[in-house]
Amino acid sequence: MPRGSKQVMPDDIRYDWQPEEIRAVHDMPLLELVFRAASLHRRYHDSAEVQVCKLVSIKTGACPEDCAYCSQSSRYDTGIEPQALMDKETVVDIARRAKENGVSRVCLGAAWREARDNAQFDCVLEMIKEVTAMDVEVCCTLGMLTEGQAKRLEEAGLFAYNHNLDTSEEHYKTIITTRTYQDRLNTLQNVRKTSVTVCCGGILGLGETVEDRISLLHTLATMLPHPESVPVNILSKVSGTPLEGAPTVPFDETLRMIATARILMPRSVVRLSAGRVGLSTSEQALCFLAGANSIFSSETGSMLTSAVPSPDYDADREMLNRLGLKMRPPFKDQLTPRHVSFRSTARQEQERLLRRNDRHPPGPA
Ligand code: SAM
Ligand code: SF4
């Protein structure tokens, strides 16, 4: 660059991605794709940091839904013993041990089709209050929510709500028949009416095509604002489910998905989630280089149920040390329910982009 000339940064945060642009990013030569994703990652994140999360299955199994990948669906004989809602003290104990091990986000997951306005929901609200008071980000994944329930979760101090779209709208119907893609989007919209942040991503290995992956990324990257958190799961094949014999996802496809998500949604936390146990340290290192900056870890070696295994705290601490990575503290971006600046900044940026695009229509990325 000539001396004195200013480097003009392209506008990285966009909500107007077209499927063919996403495909072009996704299909780039792999190392070029990783390099671009890594460069963008460094612009928006501390690349030495990884957020360690702990998923607690607060209510396990006997779910009426028919998600073809899930160990908790009552439709399949997966050998998972159903368990009633955990008591609050047990959850708080797990969260305390997680925090001692460097975890800064605890995700409370329930095998429910939807949340109901009942004593169990009230109990979850109490869990959120207690764990948040420990200075840990709390995420919940409880199935579908009404606007009123989202509001009550917000009032309890919930930091994030997870509700994955899992795959493309087209492929979704072949994976789940007991609810629609639009049902999922409606819940996400209900969460967006509050200051609770959104965690939404998908699963690789459900028999989807590359077009399905592009379509899922398109849905996520055109949300305004982008989900603050984007989990990339790799199918954990569960015996007894319709997907028990699904082909294994080649690692380069996972890496492409992570790098593409990082480029499309530069500010989001990209979570290398289920299926990480099948990746070597070197493969995980490449995922961190390409922009993944969160993992789920565990004290029991299982991420959700015993059918979805996970590395444990000790193994992850050793891996992060070897790679020279540190654990991200909670509330790093001050995105507490009381701090909604992420969203208002995104809106201001979008308005600025729309004004600019009126003057200069966008070309290919
Ligand atoms: N019942 C809630 C729901 O469906 O939203 C929460 C259930 S579960 C904790 C949430 C997510 O875990 C699912 O949306 C799916 O993306 C992921 N998941 C569950 N089983 C999985 C598996 N066997 N392999 C990969 N991801 C899985
Ligand atoms: Fe039930 Fe959630 Fe599993 Fe689907 S993913 S079967 S809704 S627990």
The pLDDT tens digits for 62-91 are: 899 999 999 999 999 898 889 999 999 999
In a domain, 213, yes or no: yes
Q: Identify whether 189 is part of a domain.
A: yes
User: Atom 2 of ligand 2 has which residue's CA nearest to it?
Assistant: 111
Question: Is position 3 within any domain?
Answer: no
Which residues lie below 8 Å from residue 196, measured CB to CB, with a gap of 6+? 150, 153, 154, 158, 159, 160, 161, 337
Task: Report d(CA 343, CA 249) in Å as an integer.
Answer: 34
Give the C-alpha separation, 348 to 143, whole Å.
31
Judge whether 157 lies within some domain: yes
pTM above 0.85, yes or no: yes
Q: What is the mean pLDDT of the chain?
A: 88
Tokens 């940026």 sit at which residue?
349
When mean pLDDT is compared across 152-156, 179-183, 333-337, the lowest value belongs to 333-337
Q: Is the CB of 73 under 6 A from ligand 2?
A: yes
- Structural domain includes residue 5: no
C-alpha of residue 281 to centroid of ligand 1, in Å? 24
Strand runs labelled E in 77-222: 105-110, 137-141, 160-162, 197-199, 202-204
pLDDT of res. 356: 57
Neighbouring-strand partners of residue 202: 166, 232
Cα distances (angstroms) measured from residue 264 to each of 21, 209, 230: 10, 19, 11
Among this protein's residues, is 53 annotated catalytic? no
Q: Residue 54: give the domain boundaries.
A: 22-356
Ligand 1, atom 3, residue with closest C-alpha: 143
Per the domain annotation, does 144 fall within a domain? yes
Residue 194 has pLDDT above 90, yes or no: yes
Residue 298 clears pLDDT 80, i.e. is over it? yes
For 215-234, what is each residue's pLDDT tens digit? 999 999 999 999 999 999 99
Would you call 70 a catalytic residue per the annotation?
A: yes
Would the pLDDT of 129 be above 80?
Answer: yes
pLDDT above 70: residue 362:
no
Active site residue 139: yes
User: Does the annotation mark 140 as catalytic?
Assistant: no
Rounded to whole angstroms, how far apart are CA atoms 351 and 228?
Answer: 19
Q: Ligand 1 pocket by C-beta < 6 Å: which residues?
A: 69-71, 109, 111-112, 141, 143, 163-164, 166, 203, 233, 235-236, 238, 274, 304, 308
Atom of ligand 1 nearest to the CA of 109: 9
- The CATH number linked to 286 is 3.20.20.70
Residue 283 placed within a domain:
yes
Whether 312 contacts 301, CB under 8 Å: yes
Count: domains in the chain? 1
pLDDT score, position 351: 58
Looking at ligand 2, which atom is closest to the CA of residue 71? 3
Closest protein CA for atom 7 of ligand 1: 111
Contact (Cβ atoms closer than 8 angstroms) between residue 164 and residue 128: no
